[in-house]
Amino acid sequence: MGGDNAPRAVIHGAHLALREHKNIRFIFHGREEQIAPLLDEFPDLKPASTIRHCDLVIAMDEKPSQALRKGKGTSSMWMSIQAVKDNEADVAISGGNTGALMAMATFCLRPMKGISRPGIAAIWPTLRTDIIVLDMGATIGADAQQLVDYAILGSALARCLFESESPTVGLLNVGTEEVKGLDFIKEAGRILTEASGSGFTYHGFVEGDDIGKGTVDVVVTEGFVGNVALKTAEGTARQVGSYLRSALKSNLMSRIGALFASSALNALRRRMDPRTVNGGVFMGLNGIVIKSHGGTDEIGYKSALSLAYEMAHSRLIDKIDETMKRFPIKAAAVATEAEPEAKPA
């Protein structure tokens, strides 16, 4: 029910996803009187779908704390996450209020053992291939241990999506030299250097331009910086696209040239289309939750659903557990958390 074009774009996106993945199934949480007529428009989608009616829908402008108090247990957003907790669904996807979704997901699913705070991971297209960048804004501010957590989570996601047994991880910094950067970044670099080989290969520090180059498979950063980088990249892509369209329409010769180069320009447009990499993955919880861009259309929702399908079939949660067990410090921390409390004599 969340997003600018919901629920039509969500239902249409599910229809497109079903064409690619015949065994996918959907539980739509929301107002049945709005969802049911849309399912009637897609006869092949209807048998693969179940509607769970919820009167309460979280508004896009509600504060996370208010949304959690009001919507816990009864809202469409909460019920979709609860379906993951109850093993009725493999993944929950929403285009709604990001802060509310993170608050509810954290409260309902709880962070995994050994992970202090969840993060949001984004798939980022680069000159080389797609990479993973996190945190994209789940948590503002971080310490060295949280950056290490994000490295573990990001590398596990990379193993799922890129079929790499030892993805490369880089820490975003103001320079690649070891003496540069804030103390918590340098401390995280020291820990990751010692643990390199535990499910990932630590590359070292990377700079902002390394994201677009695709220097590493996973770029780790703090949420404030990650969110600024994401919004800057999105704005730059729109700016370049606007410049290109203006240049191609500037005169008769430009328009003729654009006609001859139409196939190449269409390929460029597809490559720069943010809808094809839609979906921020909430990492570090005992279940998978994906935040779709609220302003996307059916193509964007189809991309988010395809991402969810791949993560479910690649056993993301299991791969995170495997990476944690291979990481010396984390393995000890998880074992400590798992030990039952001693009963008083």
Cα separation, 122 vs 126, in Å, equals 12
Cα separation, 43 vs 47, in Å, equals 8
Task: Assess contact for 208 and 172: CB atoms under 8 A.
Answer: yes
Answer yes or no: is pLDDT of 345 > 50: no
Supply the pLDDT for residue 333: 53
Backbone φ and ψ of 274, nearest 5°:
-65, -15
Q: What is the pLDDT of residues 94-153, one digit of tens each?
A: 999 999 999 999 999 999 888 888 999 998 888 888 899 999 888 888 899 999 999 999
Confidence of residue 230 (pLDDT cuts 50, 70, 90): confident
CB 65: neighbour CB atoms within 10 A? Answer: 11
- Report the percent of the chain where pLDDT is more than 90: 53
Cα separation, 54 vs 338, in Å, equals 36
CB 253: neighbour CB atoms within 10 A? Answer: 8
Supply the pLDDT for residue 331: 55
Task: Assess contact for 95 and 294: CB atoms under 8 A.
Answer: yes
Give the pLDDT mean for 163-191.
90
Torsion of CA 290, 133, 186, 196, to 10 degrees: 90
Geometric angle at alpha carbon 278, from 308 and 160, rounded to 5°: 40
Supply the pLDDT for residue 151: 93
Rounded mean pLDDT of the chain?
88
Q: pTM score, two decimals?
A: 0.86
Domain 1-110+285-314, CATH among 3.60.90.10, 3.40.1110.10, 3.40.718.10, 1.20.120.1230: 3.40.718.10
DSSP structure class, residue 5: T
For the chain, where are the alpha helices, taking DSSP H only? Answer: 8-20, 32-40, 64-71, 76-85, 98-109, 144-162, 183-195, 208-213, 223-248, 252-260, 262-272, 298-313, 316-326, 328-338
Q: What is the CA radius of gyration of the chain?
A: 21
Check whether domain 121-277 has CATH 3.40.50.1000, yes or no: no
Supply the pLDDT for residue 339: 53
DSSP structure class, residue 250: S
Report helix, strand or coil for 256: helix
Cα separation, 199 vs 28, in Å, equals 36
Backbone φ and ψ of 255, nearest 5°:
-70, -35
Write down the domain spans for the chain.
1-110+285-314, 121-277
